[in-house]
Amino acid sequence: MPKTQTITEISDGCEVDSLFLLESIDIRKKKQDGKYLFATLADRTGRISCKIWGLPGHSADEIEALGKNLMPGEVYRIRGFAKIFNGECEININDGIADLAAPAVIQASERGEYVYSPVDIKETAIAIQNLAGTIRNGQLKLVVSLALMDAGGFYEKPAAKKRHHNYRGGLAEHTLETATIAVAMAEAQKSYGIDRDILIAGALLHDIGKALCFEEKGIGYAARPEYDLIGHIPLGITFLTRFMDYLDDATYLHLLHIVQSHHGDYGDVAPRTPEAWAVHLADLASATLREVADDTAGLAPGEGKWKGEKSGKAVYRI
């Protein structure tokens, strides 16, 4: 069947019957007995949540078996109805469960219809490379450009499974935001003597480990086991050890410290230098604003949500 409906065309109460990319699937317990599936669907125009309830005759085991059979990264026919829940439009599926037995076959030329990416990846890559080009320490500049190149697919990968910047190009967008905010801090607080070179290098490489956490799966990206089993900070630190001989000891130590401490007081190691604090605060600013912007995107003035999907906090549009 051709794709006849886009996500931006779906509103409260409308019937849904079209092809969408399945990005993720969770098996969840109903409040009373039974199970349902919680999916995230996507196309070129956006993303939407989808709850798969099935029919009254479906047992919890049947729902769970379907959840295990569905393949993120594949396109499915989604047949159901849209409803507002917690301030957000979502799709509900009852008898449309029958259409989820197998994915639809998509031609290579149609794949772009299903990729959600609000980022201009080319422009973002150029801006990152331009900023890296302003690093005056030649060896440090070299390490930054080699690291961004060696961490395969850095500019296309997402920054997260579910939270901030979790779309194609999101890692590069978040990295550029973090570095731009960090540089703005250093410029606003000129008298503090912040080392601009290590600040930019640290900001551009702070999440380099995330590039190692995702791999292409169908149309889209899936987290590798390393995402949960090791975590992006140890992966980034391990990755950067290959550049140890390019830098003097102090610069190498400072770069690793910025990467290691960028979660601030939430991480294993707190920032101990002004540059490490600046990268942590810039990272937090980029991540938090993205989450709140995503959570408020579908709200009309005067509307709010008791719990935003991304931020996990109450949000409001005034």
Compare residues 68 and 162 and give the one whose CB is closer to Fe ion: 162
What is the smallest separation between the CB atom of 159 and Fe ion, expressed in angstroms?
A: 7
Residue (58 or 161) nearer to Fe ion, CB = 161
Provide the minimum distance between the beta carbon of 170 and Fe ion in the complex, in angstroms, as a whole number. Answer: 10
| Shortest distance in whole angstroms from residue 299 CB to Fe ion | 26
The yes or no reply on residue 207 touching Fe ion (CB under 5 A) is yes
- Any contact of residue 197 with Fe ion (CB under 5 A)? no
Annotate each residue in 119-138 with x if it binds Fe ion (CB under 5 A) or - if it does not, as one string. Answer: --------------------
**Contacts with Fe ion: how many residues (CB under 5 A)?**
2
* Beta carbon of residue 1, minimum distance to Fe ion (angstroms, whole number): 40
Q: Is 34 left (phi over 0), alpha (psi -120 to 50) or beta?
A: left
- Of 283 and 295, nearer to Fe ion (C-beta) is 283
Q: Which of residues 100 and 233 has its CB atom nearest to Fe ion in the complex? A: 233
Residues β-bridged to residue 91: 50, 82
Using the rule CB under 5 A, is 177 a contact of Fe ion? no
Distance CA 58, CA 34 (A): 9
Closer by beta carbon to Fe ion, 90 or else 207:
207
In whole angstroms, what is the distance from residue 227 CA to residue 284 CA?
19
Nearest alpha carbon to residue 119 among 178, 184, 165: 165
User: Nearest approach, Cβ of 274 to Fe ion (angstroms)?
Assistant: 18
CA angle (157, 284, 195) in 5-degree steps: 95
Angle, alpha carbons 79-80-81 (nearest 5°) = 145
**Of positions 177, 283, 291, 295, contacts Fe ion by CB under 5 A:** 283
- What number of H helices and E strands is found in the chain? 10, 9
What residues have CB less than 8 Å from 130, skipping those under 6 apart? none
Q: How far apart are CA 154 and CA 151, in angstroms?
A: 6
* Residue closer to Fe ion, measured from CB, 113 or 207: 207
By the 8 A CB rule, do 205 and 236 touch? yes
Residues at the contact surface with Fe ion, assessed by CB under 5 A: 207, 283
